[in-house]
Amino acid sequence: MNLKLKTRRAFLLTYVLRAPFWTVYNLLLFILYKDLHATGFQIALFIALKPIVSIFSLYWGNWVHGRPDRLVANIVWAGIIGYTPFLLFPIFYSSWYVIFASALFMTMHRGVTPAWMELFKRNLKGGYKHKVFSHGASLSYIICCVLPIFLGPLCDYYPHAWRIIFSITALLGIAALFFQCKIDVAVDPRQDNERVTEKVHLLNPWKNALKVFKENLDFRAYQIGFMFLAGSGLMIMQPALPKFFIDRLALSYTELAIAIGLCKGIGFALTSSIWARLLHKGSTFRISSYVTFLGALFPCALIAAQWGVYWIYIAYLLYGIMQAGSELIWHLSGPLFSREQDSVGFSNINLLVVGVRGMAIPQLGAFCCLLFPPIYVLGIGAILCALGGRWLLGSKQMQPISA
């Protein structure tokens, strides 16, 4: 089996095997609020840590900078470390343990992005990497469409069932390492003539990121519009969602699972391949602006749910369509903007911006929830997403047609 097929098989199976875990993981915020009776501080901390840990992910990702020999090991060990705490959920029944497990998982989950994307750049050429990523993500979301039909009622009738479900789905996620270990890495003479042997230093990832940021104006403009403005818009509304869904709309786990899993999954699966074709043929900036404008529509549809619960399903259908484009662009922006350079430094900047943004925006959202009703916070998120889309449209001339 050649490099292309091995990489494709490993990536697709990784996404398929982790899909059941993501289905129940998407309910973790509501489990904390409803079953574990987490405090407002713990809810805010849970939301904040998910992006903040990207700063630590930066170090995990930087471990493969200029070291293609470490790419596969980076992915395998991240899976083992990230999933293991969830195997102990039947033993530890605590809000703090859930927060710890989530933070460690997100650190590893985001930390492997540079390694995966560098593998894509080396082993999957041209538009084929777009197709493989969209197929893997689509398969994952199709599974996430079906499982909520069973998991939602199970969690409603058996309040502690989620603890066993997390352990089982974590084992499935770990099983993907058997396919990941078989990946080979293509040699790129343009990059591999000299192996990077810099000494380990806490500032190395930051220095590498700053260098990329200074030398690539188009990538900097993309970060401002897509990662900072639009990303902040989606993040600032997160603290308002549990209060809005449970206290205002009184949604059950079944309704939440159908909305977040089924509707979002349908939107993602139906449009993932379309986004891949658009990104392959069009400007990264223009396609990114479409994504952020869809992000602005999401909170508007949520607000409308006050007059009909079906708007929740419409909102998450829109979110799924938006996320299909967002996931593709976020993951492939490193290979796309790096051109002939090593893509790890570019992908690491994505992690850095997510982490820095997470240090302030969720807390700002939680503070806004103390001052305003949830619908006002959702409105702020919509405005920020729209501003991000406008910025990207104004910057589209900086980026050539994607490859």
pLDDT at 42 over 90: no
Q: Max Cα separation, the chain?
A: 63
Contact indicator for 24, 169 with CB cutoff of 8 Å: yes
Assign 3-class secondary structure to 53-66: CHHHHHHHHHCCCC
Write the single-letter amino acid at 326.
Answer: S
Give pLDDT, residue 84. Answer: 93
Local structure of residue 283 (DSSP, 8 states): B
Percent of the chain with pLDDT over 90: 16
Question: How large is the C-alpha radius of gyration of the chain?
Answer: 20
**N- to C-terminal Cα separation, the chain:** 26
Whether residue 213 is contained in a domain is answered as yes
Q: Under a CB-based contact definition with an 8 Å cutoff, are residues 82 and 30 in contact?
A: no
pLDDT computed for residue 403 by the predictor? 45
**Alpha-carbon gap, residue 403 to 401, rounded angstroms:** 7
Number of domains present in the structure of the chain: 1
Burial class (CB in 10 A: 0-12, 13-18, 19+), 189: exposed
- Kindly state whether residue 150 falls inside one of the protein's structural domains: yes
146-188 per-position pLDDT tens digit: 777 777 677 667 667 778 888 999 999 999 998 988 887 776 6
* 397 has a pLDDT exceeding 70: no
Identify whether 190 is part of a domain. no
Give percent of the chain with pLDDT exceeding 70: 88
β-pair partners for 245: none
Q: pLDDT band for position 297 (50/70/90)?
A: very high
In a domain, 342, yes or no: yes
Average pLDDT, the chain: 81
Task: Name the residue range of residue 378's domain.
Answer: 3-185+203-398
pLDDT tens per residue, range 330-346? 888 877 787 767 677 78
197 falls within a domain: no
From the list 44, 176, 42, the residue with the least C-alpha distance to 108 is: 176
Domain-embedded: residue 191: no
Band (pLDDT 50/70/90 cuts) for residue 379 is very high
What's the average model confidence in pLDDT over 19-43?
Answer: 80
Indicate whether 385 belongs to any domain. Answer: yes
Give the CA distances from residue 387 to residues 5, 136, 382, 384, 393, in Å, rounded to whole numbers and listed in that order: 41, 31, 9, 5, 10
Tell whether the model's pLDDT for residue 386 goes beyond 60.
Answer: yes
pLDDT at 202: 64
**Alpha-carbon distances of 179 from 17, 76, 173, 231, 320, rounded to whole Å:** 11, 10, 11, 33, 28
Which amino acid is residue 167, in one-letter code?
Answer: S
Give dist(CA 155, CA 23) in Å, integer: 12
Can you give the CATH number for the domain in which 302 is found? 1.20.1250.20
**Does 195 fall in a domain?**
no
The predicted pLDDT at position 131 comes to 81
What is the C-alpha to C-alpha distance for residues 315 and 349, in angstroms, rounded to an integer?
30
Pair of tokens at residue 17: 């095997």
Could you tell me which residue, 381 or 245, shows the higher pLDDT?
381
What is the pLDDT at residue 296? 94
